[in-house]
Amino acid sequence: MANKVAPIRSTTQFFLEIEDIRDDVLLLQDGSCALIIETSAVNFSLLSEKEQDAMIYAYSGTLNSLSFPIQLVIRSKRKDISGYMNLLIAAENNQTNPALKERIRTYREFINATVKERNVLDKKFYIVIPFSALELGVANMSSLMGRKGLPYPKSYILTRAKTVLIPKRDHLIRQLNRLGLKAKQLTTQQLITLFHEIYNPQEELKPTDANEYLTPITSTQ
């Protein structure tokens, strides 16, 4: 009789490099950290030629002002407009004016047909500012190779990381404001929601208690 093979039980957290999300900072398992800035965008094609030249010049000035690396991330996902469609249906049903009722119906059908023909995408733009584990004062990378767990306590790593990251964040946000862009650092709650959506696209995160956000994303090693 063949031996029964025990089922493999694991979670996404086991495969992630994320150790924890705390104090609005992403902490990775090797001791490195990062903070993430969400920024607005500009429709470059709608600008005049002079405005485009000015935008390019200002953008190059922003990049030249940076003395640290950054990562640009564009996240696209299919936009859920079911709530908007339900709003239109409710407005149509509550409308007593026949002419306005017909206009709402026509508009709703137009939106519905447009969504079926094209994928309506919601784009988010992020800038990641990293903090290397080497900035903790580790002598060399070889001392981290094969090491399990964080090189230092979480509180120490986060304190050192924020000391380095916050001035970089402030400088970058000022530069983005010069470009006419609105930028903000993602909070702990927003970071948890972001990564939950990335790894669980079919599942919406709806915490019933704000304290759930204070629970480490992975167990402490």
Q: Give the tens place of pLDDT for each residue, 109-166.
A: 888 887 766 666 778 999 999 999 888 875 545 555 555 678 889 999 999 999 999 9
| pLDDT less than 50: residues of the chain | 140, 208-210, 216-221
pLDDT reported for residue 39: 95
What are the CA-CA distances from residue 26 to residues 14, 78, 196 (Å)?
Answer: 16, 26, 14
Within 10 angstroms of residue 196's Cβ, the number of other Cβ atoms is: 16
pLDDT reported for residue 64: 92
pTM: 0.72
pLDDT reported for residue 33: 95
Within 10 angstroms of residue 45's Cβ, the number of other Cβ atoms is: 6
Compute the distance between CA of residue 180 and CA of residue 67 in angstroms, rounded to an integer.
22
The domain segmentation of the chain, as residue ranges, is 18-78+124-214, 80-119
